[in-house]
Amino acid sequence: MSDDRLTIAGREFRSRLWVGTGKYKDFVETKKAIETSGADVVTVAVRRVNITDRNSENLLDYLDPKQYTILPNTAGCYTVEDAVRYARLARAAGVSDLVKLEVIGDERTLFPDTAGLIEAARILIKEGFVVLPYTNDDPIVAQKLVDIGCPAVMPLAAPIGSGLGIRNPYNLKIILETVNVPVIVDAGVGTASDAALAMEYGADAVLMNTAIAGAREPIAMAEAMKYAVEAGRLAYKAGRIPRKLYATASSPIEGML
């Protein structure tokens, strides 16, 4: 699999499993889970620093930005203005123009506000950002995001943190067929088979956080996800057999008594 690299906007990625860094017990567990997952892209959020507790540790003390691609998100932003502001802050705090753009439309579902997403993406692309948009499983919106210059799209499998797996495989398949940029399935994965399935459909990568961090044994689940994504990718490239209603014997009839 070493030659099977994922390329987005001229950047090469080794792993097709991307992971979030939220919800872990502590930074030690975060680091261990991410190392085990084999991921080389990690998402982070941008928030106020704690100025009262000066001994508070920094996430980047545990995740070396030289070793990982740090992908800041605009999670928690419900308006175009907020998402653009957080993206700019992320760029100022970091080292790259990459942003995982989220414009959230609703608190209960955390579904994206796709109209706001397109508007925010347009503004940020004009400012030189590499915008990776967290979007709905809507092929039309995905194509619009590509048309305005997003070098990849990140459709959800299911609501963030829901663990429901791929709710709309047919829409996902249409997106995979119609857009000519990498597709990263983002959010909603519950267990290893969900990730494998996304990769078997032809997704270019899978991004997850809660499925690993929220598992009873996060480190073990990180390992499971690593293999699931690799297995799914290999199966996709190998080409599955067609589904048939009736049996086809795999042992020859010839030579039977």
Partner 1 sequence: MRIQVNGEPRQVCEEINVTDLLRDLQLNVERVAVEVNLEILDRRDFDAKTLQEGDRIEILSFIGGGT
Nearer to partner 1, 61 or 254 (CB): 61
The DSSP bridge pattern shows strands 17-20 and 69-72 to be unpaired
Determine, following the binding rule CB under 8 A, whether residue 89 of this chain makes contact with partner 1.
yes
Determine, following the binding rule CB under 8 A, whether residue 15 of this chain makes contact with partner 1.
no
Burial state string for 162-184 with b = 16 or more CB within 10 A and e = fewer than 16: bbebbebeebbebbbeebebbbb
Per-residue binding letters, 16-45, with partner 1 (x by CB under 8 A): ---xxxxxx--x--x------------xxx
Count of residues interacting with partner 1 (CB under 8 A): 45
Please state, in angstroms and rounded to a whole number, the distance separating the CA atoms of residues 122 and 106.
Answer: 21
Count of CB atoms situated within 10 Å of the CB of 88: 17
Determine, following the binding rule CB under 8 A, whether residue 73 of this chain makes contact with partner 1.
yes
Question: Nearest approach, Cβ of 89 to partner 1 (angstroms)?
Answer: 4
Please state, in angstroms and rounded to a whole number, the distance separating the CA atoms of residues 77 and 83.
Answer: 5
Told to judge if 100 belongs to the known catalytic residues of this protein, a careful annotator would answer yes
From the list 23, 66, 100, 173, the catalytic residue is 100
Determine, following the binding rule CB under 8 A, whether residue 245 of this chain makes contact with partner 1.
no
Question: Nearest approach, Cβ of 58 to partner 1 (angstroms)?
Answer: 6
Answer for which of 5, 47, 126, 237 binds partner 1 (CB under 8 A) is 47
Contacts of 6 (CB under 8 A, 6+ apart): 12, 13, 15, 16, 182, 204, 205
Query: Positive or negative, the Cα torsion across 206, 209, 214, 216?
Result: positive
Count of CB atoms situated within 10 Å of the CB of 67: 11
Nearer to partner 1, 58 or 251 (CB): 58
Nearer to partner 1, 13 or 134 (CB): 134
Q: Which two tokens stand for residue 99?
A: 């942003």
Please state, in angstroms and rounded to a whole number, the distance separating the CA atoms of residues 175 and 169.
Answer: 10
Answer for which of 17, 38, 69, 72 binds partner 1 (CB under 8 A) is 72
Determine, following the binding rule CB under 8 A, whether residue 221 of this chain makes contact with partner 1.
no
Determine, following the binding rule CB under 8 A, whether residue 220 of this chain makes contact with partner 1.
no
Question: Nearest approach, Cβ of 91 to partner 1 (angstroms)?
Answer: 8
Contacts of 113 (CB under 8 A, 6+ apart): 78, 103, 104, 105, 106
Catalytic residues, which ones? 100
- The residue ranges that bind partner 1 (CB under 8 A) are 19-24, 27, 30, 43-49, 51-52, 54, 58-60, 70, 72-73, 75, 88-94, 100, 102, 110, 134, 160-161, 186-187, 207-210, 213
